């Protein structure tokens, strides 16, 4: 893929994909802010605080992945099981109190890809039970041909397993697909699986070395749709020449 820039890459020219794999939280759904509220409230309620900036490094990881890291940084007097359970309970309650919010441009992007018959998958570190519930609450049930979840893989993002399984489920070669991610852990996982990746940053800071691995860095899903529309037009214009 050609790379040009916002952050030197904003207008990157993308190839038309055989399939697309999306992250869920922070990419499809605006739920990372909800999760952050739950974890901050848990810190206030318990008096136990994560190190500054630690929450952002958890984004994109499965519960098993971030629990192991929490165990290494939380004070000995913190009951880690109770701490994580309270944060998760608060998160679920918040999700039930209001509609699960979409990221900007989501429905228009999914409608465009459905009309173009592009197979879609979700690769999320969330457990299957919660992932399916969130997609249903968000009105996205039936939109994706495959769903691979954090409790179904041995290794959490940034390990590539979850993306490798997603493209396998779609029956496509990784290099002919696209991934769409918001977090450093997700970008590292998708690119390690050999999938060109669009980064749409959310609340997690993305270091320059991770941005450099992305095929494009775009501000929202409307911009993703516009880039894919351009890729489709470019592909169609080349077909007569190739014939």
For 7-41, write each residue's pLDDT tens digit: 545 555 799 999 999 999 999 999 999 999 999 99
Q: Which of 82, 97, 112 is the last residue of a domain?
A: 97
What domain count does the chain have? 2
Q: Please check whether residue 95 is in contact with residue 37, taking contact to mean a CB–CB distance below 8 angstroms.
A: no
Q: Is 66 part of a structural domain of the chain?
A: yes
CA dihedral 99, 104, 108, 110 (to 10 degrees): -70
Which range of residues forms the domain containing residue 83?
32-97
Highest mean pLDDT among 62-66, 94-98, 188-192: 188-192
Reply yes or no on whether the pLDDT at 122 is more than 70: yes
Q: What are phi and psi of 179, to 5 degrees?
A: -115, 150
Task: Examine the domain organization and report whether 69 and 185 are in the same domain.
Answer: no
- What local confidence, expressed as pLDDT, does residue 237 receive? 66
Q: Is 13 part of a structural domain of the chain?
A: no
Which residues have CB under 8 Å from 107's CB, separation 6+?
none
Which residues have CB under 8 Å from 143's CB, separation 6+?
110, 114, 120, 135
Task: Examine the domain organization and report whether 169 and 228 are in the same domain.
Answer: yes
- What local confidence, expressed as pLDDT, does residue 12 receive? 59
- What local confidence, expressed as pLDDT, does residue 167 receive? 98
pTM, to two decimals: 0.89
Nearest to 190 by CA among 207, 167, 224: 167
> Active-site residue among 23, 30, 182, 202?
23
Task: Examine the domain organization and report whether 80 and 110 are in the same domain.
Answer: no
Task: Examine the domain organization and report whether 48 and 26 are in the same domain.
Answer: no
Task: Examine the domain organization and report whether 121 and 211 are in the same domain.
Answer: yes
30 catalytic? Reply is: no
222 catalytic? Reply is: no
> Active-site residue among 25, 30, 182, 202?
25
């Amino acid at each position: 893929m050609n790379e040009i820039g916002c952050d030197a890459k904003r207008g990157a020219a993308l190839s038309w994909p055989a399939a697309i794999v999306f992250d869920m939280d922070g990419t499809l759904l605006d739920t990372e802010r909800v999760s952050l509220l739950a974890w901050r409230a848990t810190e206030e309620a318990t008096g136990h605080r994560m190190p500054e900036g630690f929450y952002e490094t958890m984004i994109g990881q499965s519960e098993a992945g971030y629990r192991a890291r929490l165990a290494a940084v939380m004070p000995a007097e913190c009951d880690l099981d109770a701490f994580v359970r309270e944060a998760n309970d608060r998160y679920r309650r918040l999700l039930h109190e209001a509609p699960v919010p979409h990221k900007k441009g989501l429905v228009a992007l999914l409608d465009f890809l459905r009309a173009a018959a592009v197979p879609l998958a979700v690769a999320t570190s969330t457990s299957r039970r919660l992932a399916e519930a969130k997609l249903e609450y968000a009105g996205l049930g039936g939109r994706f041909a495959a769903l691979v979840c954090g409790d179904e893989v041995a290794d959490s993002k940034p390990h590539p397993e979850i993306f490798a399984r997603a493209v396998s489920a779609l029956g496509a070669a990784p290099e002919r697909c696209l991934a769409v991610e918001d977090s450093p852990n997700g970008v590292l996982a998708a690119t390690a699986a050999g999938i060109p990746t669009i980064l749409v940053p959310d609340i997690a800071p993305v270091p320059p070395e991770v941005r450099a691995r992305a095929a494009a860095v775009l501000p929202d899903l409307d911009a993703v749709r516009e880039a894919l529309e351009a890729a489709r037009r470019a592909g169609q214009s080349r077909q007569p020449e190739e014939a």
